[in-house]
Amino acid sequence: MSILRKLASQTAVYGLSSVLGRMLNYLLVPLYTSVFAPLEYGIVTELYAYVAFLNILYIYGLETAYFRFSSQENGANYFNLAFTSILVTSILFSGITWILSGHIAVALDYPDKQNFIQWLAAILAIDAIVAIPFARLRQVGKAYHFAVFKLSNIGVNIFLNIFFIILCPLILRDYPQSFIRHIYNPDLGVGYVFLSNLIANGLYLLFFFKDWLKVKLTFNAAEWKRMMKYAWPVLIIGFAGVTNEMLSRAILKYRLPEGFYDGYTNLEVLGIFGACYKLSVFMTLAVQAFRYAFEPFFFAQAKEKNSPQVFSQVMTMFVLFTSFSWLVLCIFMPYYAPIFLRQESYLMALDAVPWLLGGGLFLGVFYNLSLWYKLTDNTLYGAYISLIGAFTTFVLNWMLIPVMGYMGSAIATFASYLLMVAISYVWGMRHYPVPYQVWKVIAYVGLAAGGIILNEQFEQSPFIAVLITLIFLTLSIIFERKSLSRFRAK
């Protein structure tokens, strides 16, 4: 099997767990948007935005650092060291959050939601503790174990959501004296979203039970400093990346002028935007699946003489696939969006989704380009680029939200990722030249963007949408017929 086919197969497995898992999880969106009003869903949107930032803090770049050092002779020591470090800090961080949960809830204007903060603290700790064991599964190529663990967690989470939000109220309605009254509190409402997540995450601790028996808690100051020297710029990159993705949902409620959208409060608008943001998850899934497979792949492939040519081929195929995905998701959105967003009010922010999907595409390109600073141990450059992107996101959100509302946030996301791609390409060619097929990449992105705009001009006609899709596919096959032939032959 060729290296490209191996990468594709690994991406497919990770993609199955990510795409299928997220798709299953995404089935909860119709549930939430049917049961919870935008005001309630706004709470979920805001708190999980903060969780995304804290996830980065809890892992502080050690996952990527583990990949970098695990291939060395004492790779097992680095696993134990990384795990020990994260275990100690996770308990410390979550312990402090638990103690201060009441004050945090008041600061966020949710004074009666202290238990939500406590549950999220536990969720964050578990996610961080299992991060290195999951990284080892990827490092040793156990993609199927990775997929099974992830899908099991998601399946339990979905079941618990359905149980608490749908089944329990129905059972109590017909059988008010049943045992359900002892385990279900109708006043908890959206709290069951967080509680279900916590219980499902607890299964991770069981999944890795054999690993816990083999782990040796250890600490070597010299090796830890070596890992942290590599990891702390990755931490900054992670924070900056989450800023680009989550900042809008963290500040929209506060930056949006009251009454900007007639008849909606700012928290309701946040809930609506958060629900529509979920539609961009399809692009995020493709990027995430690729990243899971690509990160260990390029570290291993870098030793080969033809690695630059391979990386160039990977980039072209990635952009082709994601550009096609961007096109299809945008032009067919009016037909699938109402299936997921069950109340009419949630459809209000659909015009922001194409910008968010495009931003996700450029984020994937940035992940492709990031190999240059990781392979040359110049992660500090990656931190600089990510900080520039985060600063751009903050400035554009701050300036555009009061003027354009949630559309300003969507445009800010798109512009920030595009800028990061441009800077990373220029700097990368100086430090680790890769013969990327730049004009072909630009052509695919431009072709997709043109198709989206053209479809809007024809008022989203189904016939035009299908025609545009066929044109894109036909041109892609013509441009890539030689590459596809070589791929099938290997």
Residue 327 has pLDDT above 90, yes or no: yes
Q: pLDDT per residue over 473-485, tens digit each?
A: 998 888 877 665 5
Q: Do 239 and 53 form a contact (C-beta atoms < 8 A)?
A: yes
Give the model confidence (pLDDT) of 333-357 as tens digits.
888 888 888 778 888 889 999 999 9
Cβ within 8 Å of residue 351, ≥6 positions away: 407
> How does the average pLDDT of the chain come out, rounded?
84
The CB-side HSE value for 59 (13 A sphere, CA atoms) comes to: 28
Whether 428 contacts 438, CB under 8 Å = no
Count of other CB atoms within 10 angstroms of residue 435: 12
Number of H helices, E strands in the chain: 25, 0
Within 10 Å of residue 144's Cβ, how many Cβ atoms? 12
Q: How far apart are CA 330 and CA 353, in angstroms?
A: 8
Give, in order, the Cα–Cα distances in Å from 172 to each of 33, 36, 167, 257, 395: 22, 19, 9, 42, 50
**pLDDT of residue 401 exceeding 60:** yes
* 331 closest CA partner among 485, 170, 467, 179: 467
Question: What are 218-261's pLDDT values in tens digits?
Answer: 888 888 888 888 888 778 877 877 787 788 888 888 899 988 99
Q: How far apart are CA 164 and CA 148, in angstroms?
A: 24
Query: Is 278 a residue whose pLDDT tops 60?
Result: yes
Confidence at residue 135, expressed as pLDDT on a 0 to 100 scale: 85
Structure tokens at 429: 């060619």
CB 43 within 8 Å of CB 113: yes
CB 337 within 8 A of CB 350: yes
Q: Are 414 and 356 in contact (CB under 8 A)?
A: yes
* pLDDT above 70 (res 2): no
pLDDT greater than 60 at residue 425: yes
The secondary structure of 318-379 as a DSSP string is: HHHHHHHHHHHHHHTHHHHHHHH--SGGGGGGGGGHHHHHHHHHHHHHHHHHTHHHHHTT-H
Residue 6 or 145, more confident: 145
**Span 106-151, pLDDT tens digits:** 998 888 889 999 999 999 999 999 999 988 887 777 777 887 888 8
**What's the CA gap between 12 and 488, in Å, rounded?**
16
- Tokens matching residue 5: 């086919």
Please, are residues 93 and 20 in contact by the beta-carbon 8 Å criterion? no
Closest CA to 298 of 383, 232, 385, 373: 373
Residues ≥6 apart with Cβ < 8 Å to 154: 21, 22, 24, 25, 200
Q: Are 340 and 26 in contact (CB under 8 A)?
A: yes
